[in-house]
Amino acid sequence: MSDLVIETSGLRKEFRSRRGVRIAVHDLDLAVPAGGVHGFLGPNGSGKTTTIRMLLGLAHATAGTMRLFGEPVPRRLPAVIDRIGAVVENPKFAPHFTGRQNLTLLARTIGASADRVEEAVATVGLTGRDGDRYKSYSLGMKQRLAIAATLLKRPALLILDEPTNGLDPAGIREIRDTIRQLGESGVTVLLSSHILAEVQQVCTSATIIGNGRLLASGRVEDLLGTSTAYRVGVPDPAAARAVLDGAGFTLRDGSDLLVETDRPAAVTEALGNAGVWLCELTPVRPDLETVFLELTAGDQLGGAA
């Protein structure tokens, strides 16, 4: 029995129109392990929403197979849907009702108890603002209420499609903190986004797609790789540059003095021997954005043909 919460194999989606066939999702093998936050990353138009819509039975797959909690979907979706919460499109809430009233109504509809409303409000950090009318909420609060609504049935899998779209930095941070806490509480979160910096801070694993194709997948640590460059801080960078160059080190172009090496002690030694004293030697790891841009370089907007 697989411990993958989401699994697709050869998943494909073609859109046909008079202009021809557009392949939005291209034989995609997706593997999302249980627990933690899994980033589903790709540029605009790379097929993230289409994939999510297929997983949730909102769009038909042209080919391939999908499993949620080990069950083949869409055929067995009714058996697992109660374990899944999703924010895919803008949810509809009554603008004149408070956040709490909206959640209470929803809880009654799905047969969830009043404690769940309390719990969901607290989890998304809306306690204290849940008595305010929905129409007075900031975009970030609206998005958090949408997440709270999905938590009423205590899902084991939460699928969030671009939850920070249109939010300002404060709103992004609010959602990020909420998502991180959910991941830490044991919920598996699939977080689709094209905003890398923010995703890097919450994801434990990630899948990167471009033009509907899988480009890379794995633990964020592994996707980033290990650092092979160090930032050198010295009072006289020109002198240090000359010393390191003379000692045969590879230096990167740029305003910072960056040296590529797997022997940082040798940098210290070379500079010390020349009487140039370090005040900083910091490993520089590639960030997810760099990895992402390298992987998706050349991808055009829109699906592959």
Ligand X SMILES: Nc1ncnc2c1ncn2[C@@H]1O[C@H](COP(=O)(O)OP(=O)(O)OP(=O)(O)O)[C@@H](O)[C@H]1O
Residue 123 touches ligand X, criterion: CB under 6 A:
no
Based on the shown chain and the rule CB under 6 A, indicate whether residue 66 belongs to the binding site for ligand X. Answer: no
What lies within 8 Å, CB to CB, of 126 at 6+ separation is: 99, 141, 144, 145, 148
Query: Applying CB under 6 A, does 88 fall inside the site for ligand X?
Result: no
Comparison of 45 and 99: residue with beta carbon closer to ligand X: 45
For ligand X, which is the closer residue by CB, 248 or 298?
298
Toward ligand X, which CB reaches closer, 34 or 304? 304
Contacts to ligand X from residues 156-175, by CB under 6 A: 162
Q: How far is CA 73 from the centre of its chain?
A: 23
Q: Which range touches ligand X (CB under 6 A), out of 43-51, 83-91, 241-249, 253-261? A: 43-51
Please, what is the minimum distance in Å from the beta carbon of residue 193 to ligand X? Answer: 8
Find the part of the chain contacting ligand X (CB under 6 A) among 42-50, 119-127, 177-185, 228-236.
42-50
Q: Indicate the residue among 46 and 188 with the shorter CB distance to ligand X.
A: 46
Smallest separation, CB 183 to ligand X (Å): 21
Report the C-alpha gap between 78 and 40 in whole angstroms.
24
Radius of gyration of the chain (CA): 24
Q: Order the strands of the 258-260 sheet from edge to edge.
A: 250-252, 258-260, 229-233, 280-284
Q: Which stretch binds ligand X (CB under 6 A): 41-49, 216-224, 262-270, 285-293?
A: 41-49
- Under rule CB under 6 A, residue 104 binds ligand X: no
Long-range (24+ apart) CB contacts under 8 A made by 66-73 are 66/6, 66/7, 66/8, 66/9, 66/11, 67/2, 67/4, 67/6, 67/7, 67/8, 68/5, 68/6, 68/157, 69/5, 69/156, 69/157, 70/1, 70/2, 70/4, 70/7
User: Which residue stretch of 40-48, 81-89, 195-203, 270-278 sits at the interface with ligand X (rule: CB under 6 A)?
Assistant: 40-48
Q: How many residues bind ligand X (CB under 6 A)?
A: 15
Least distance (Å) from ligand X to the CB of residue 86?
Answer: 14
Residue 285 and residue 228 in contact, taking contact as beta carbons nearer than 8 Å: no
Q: Which of 36, 39, 42, 85 binds ligand X (CB under 6 A)?
A: 42
**Segment 3 to 32, residues that bind ligand X, using CB under 6 A:** 15, 22, 24
Tokens 């039975």 sit on residue: 57
Q: Are 147 and 163 in contact (CB under 8 A)?
A: yes
- Contacts with ligand X, 194-223, as mask; x by CB under 6 A: x-----------------------------
Asked if 303 touches ligand X (CB under 6 A), the answer is yes
39 contributes a contact to ligand X by CB under 6 A: no
- Applying CB under 6 A, the residues found at the interface with ligand X are 15, 22, 24, 42, 44-50, 162, 194, 302-303
